[in-house]
Structure 1
Amino acid sequence: MTAILFISLFFFFLSGVPIAFSIALSSLVAFVFHGDLPPVMIIQRLYAGVDSFPLLAVPLFMLAGFLMESGGISRRVIEFAEALVGWLPGGLTAVTIVAAMFFAGISGSAAADAAAVGSIMIPAMVSRGYDPRLAGAVMASGGSLGVVIPPSIPMIIFGFLTGASVGKLFVAGIIPGLMIGISLMTLSVLISWKEGIRETIPFSWRRLVVTFWEAKWALGAPVVILGGILGGVFTATEAAAVATFYALIVGLFIHKELRWKDLPSLVIRGCLTASTILFIIATASVFSWLMAIEDIPARIASGILSITRDRTLLLLMINALLLAAGTFVETTAALILLVPVITPLLPSLNMDIIQLGVVVVVNLAIGMLTPPLGICLLVSCSIANIRLDEIIRRIGLFLMVLILNLILITYWEPLTLWLPSMMD
């Protein structure tokens, strides 16, 4: 059945069938050929795949992001970011990265991050004479932070798959997320300096204080979410509910830019977006269950260990596998298909499950910048009105910076484990 499972999966992939349906159809084919499994098991596994309290955080964080975007929060964050770093060479590129970092602390989704910030920043950069390809590349790389800086939907899914604490995964992503964001901002400033881009906006303490005060409710959202988790006040799922309520109150009664009549469309938008992810989780859970009953993860792990038991080489191989998967497979599906294969290697890696979670998520975040399935690239291309091949020419340096950060996160444990250890 193993051969049938994977051959049918690749066949449907190559035929252009959407990822969720490819996984579902290949699982169905394997069921038919197995013969001993009752068809009702498919329904049971589909239901069991999403019957999880932690997964409730997925639609809630998505809805919170949409509410904050419509409630004027993203605009206020960008105005504060411009006052903070807009005076640097190529200031708008730095503003884009900083704004993406702040919004990442709200949305939990890279695509939402790229769309919310990019819809404002890419036109602003182009109107001031920036190369549209550079503007798109900066926004795409900044958007990838949406899954590294907590709250992060891929981290929620990883916690669901492995039983790891989602709260600790969120906290573990803070330092790597800030480190990646600062390095991307530094690179964007250096590129702008080299290309002769200069900003005429002088730094003003008064403007910084005014914009900070205007954005205080927006900046308070990540503090409430992470502060509550760190303080043990609520779980990650409860934090998602708090974030949604917070966004609703701020948008309706404080900023007053969110209208009651907007709520039904925002709820529907959030449900549709979340249902796509949850449908992939449901179908992929059937596929991963079939892999488990065939003992495929253990056999793959055994095969890898037969090649080498050296920790450095094993981590290098895992990163290569995840980077390749992130390039060709949607993030949620990649998590559900690969995490059961990687986790049996943990004893040989002598690696904490929390660190592994961050490494996996950073790998898949890099995959969002590589064609053909680089969602952040596609969103940025759409906003900048450029072709995919045009933005690829400018994304290379940003990918190199991300990979260097990945190496540090993989081999230097304190980057991911120091803050979670404080929770203990």
Structure 2
Amino acid sequence: MPMSRIKLLQLITLSEMGGAQKVLYHLVAGLDRNRFDITVACAPGGELVRWLAPLDGVRVVQVPHLCREISPARDLRAFWFLYRLMRREGFAIVHCHSSKAGILGRLAARLAGVRGILFTVHGWGLGDHHSRIKQSFFVLAEKVAGRCSDRVVCVSRADYQKALDEKLVPPDRLAVIHNGLPRPAQQPPALREELGLSEKALMVGTVCRLRPPKDPLFFLEVARALLYSGKWAGNLYFVLIGDGPLMAPCREYVQRHGLSRAVFFLGNREDAPALVAGLDVFVLFSLWEGLPLTVIEAMQAGKPVVAPAVGGVGELVTPGETGYLIKPRDLAGAVQALETLLKDGQLRRDMGARGRRAVLEHFSVERMVADYLRVYDDLLRV
């Protein structure tokens, strides 16, 4: 008689393109669907829903009212929807991703009597950027949800330490699993051809949601400082891949400062990794992070990285070896690091090669899936 499959719910707040969504997708794609009966629940309508559609044996449930913002009425409706789903389906494991789904999902799972409750932290998002009242509320909510969790996985050692420092989760329930990505397919970089630039042009780029945590306006401040320096003879360009609520302010900044000739906005692109392969230097200027997949993708493509030492970025980038780490919003530091790299093609190639070797060895999707399987097995044994 065949064994029944383990009912597993993967829950995430938004279904739009983002790092946490990619992690969930690659995890689901890598699990044995003869062993796991997988349901994915998320807000309606984004790219994740489309990515999952071709996967045999994966059911997608779009959750009305599930949203990123705090909205008591919508949050209560989403909570009730999730609770009824969990009671009806009888999941053995509920695996939550992202803050809102992590809090609502863990509380609903505990109330529904789910056997194994797991939360992956893709960056805590707790810090000075919130008001004191909001910060206190978020910390309290995470502490309550943490006590409803059987295991909390941090994607970086930095987030693990933050959980300990803030006493967000009992220490015996914490673990670290670094994100992983599949080995990229080899394809010729098409970015220069798309933008009509010569092989001698120097390109600095980033991939991010255009939201305040990613600080895309600082990316443009750095671009302005370098372009206004007059050192690059009209041969330096900046590429911003992504979309979001700060698109209009970003475009206005570029227009106001006369940067339109040298700054390209490409919007959301599912071929972003192939575009990154055409850059000379990759940058990410986030104010906080978990373990950013865009940095892993850039290093897979053999690109040196300049980024602030926030979250798990320092677990990816080795200063002076695979790129440079700066302080958040350090304009002088960012400009100096980029000038060093832009002036020296051999340095860029050497750093890029070292970074590629490091991430292919330590940040594979096979390792990530195997690590999560061990956690699932532990939860089922309890």
**TM-score bin (small chain):** under 0.3
- Normalised TM-score (structure 1): 0.22
More strand by share: 2
Q: Looking at both structures, which has the greater relative contact order when contacts are Cα pairs under 8 Å and sequence separation is at least 6? A: 1
More helix by share: 1
- Normalised TM-score (structure 2): 0.23
